[in-house]
Amino acid sequence: MISFTLFNYWAVIVLMMVGFYTLISRDNLVKKLIGLNIFQTSVIMMYVSIGKITGGTAPILMESGDHGGEVAVDAGHAAVEVLYSNPIPHVLMLTAIVVGVATLALGLSLVVRINEAYGTIEEDEIARKDNAR
């Protein structure tokens, strides 16, 4: 099997650059927003990759809930033996996803507004109309 020490990061960088290219090379504003979304998702993948531990499992504790006070120490001990992936990147990226969709909604409403004002969502045509005015 290939060495996986850095493959994940490189693949994520490729995806990031695909999004970046869409963002800077296309004139269509909706396409730009899709590119921005791809870029953002790849950043999320980067963080989640950092949180992954090989052989680990999702950070949901195996033993929980119904045990009383005196077994709680045991449960805490059991939690050491199961290997959990790092929950912090997951928390941060949950926030990022939701903020990302809020940004997308705002961007799309700007696109709708620009389309009403200029009759087009192609950036070069908008620039042309602005200059001709």
Partner 1 sequence: MTETMVQLVDVVLLVLLAITGIAVIRTRNLFVAVMLAGIYSLLSAGLFVVMDAVDVAFTEAAVGAGISTVLMLGTLALVGYKESAPTHKPILPLFVVLVTGGILVYGTAEIPPFGGADNPAHKHVAAHYIHDSEEEIGHIPNVVTSVLGSYRGYDTMGETAVIFTAMVGVLLLLSRGPLPKRIFHAGQWHTVKAGTTREDMVAKFGGDAGPDETVKDGPARTEGGADG
CA distances for 3 relative to 11, 15, 97, 133, angstroms: 13, 20, 30, 59
Q: Which of residues 92-111 bind partner 1 (CB under 8 A)?
A: 92-95, 97-106, 108-111
Does 131 participate in binding partner 1 (rule CB under 8 A)? no
What DSSP state is assigned to residue 85? Answer: -
Considering only 70, 74, 81, 84, the residue that binds partner 1 (CB under 8 A) is 84
CB 31 within 8 A of CB 22: yes
Residue 52: count of CB within 10 angstroms of its CB = 11
The dihedral over CA atoms of 109, 37, 94, 99, expressed in degrees to the nearest 10, equals: -30
What is the footprint of partner 1 within residues 11-50 (CB under 8 A)? 11-22, 24-28, 30-31, 33-35, 37-38, 41, 44-45, 48-50
Q: Does 70 bind partner 1 (CB under 8 A)?
A: no
Site membership for partner 1, residue 127 (CB under 8 A):
no
What's the closest the beta carbon of residue 100 comes to partner 1, in angstroms? 8
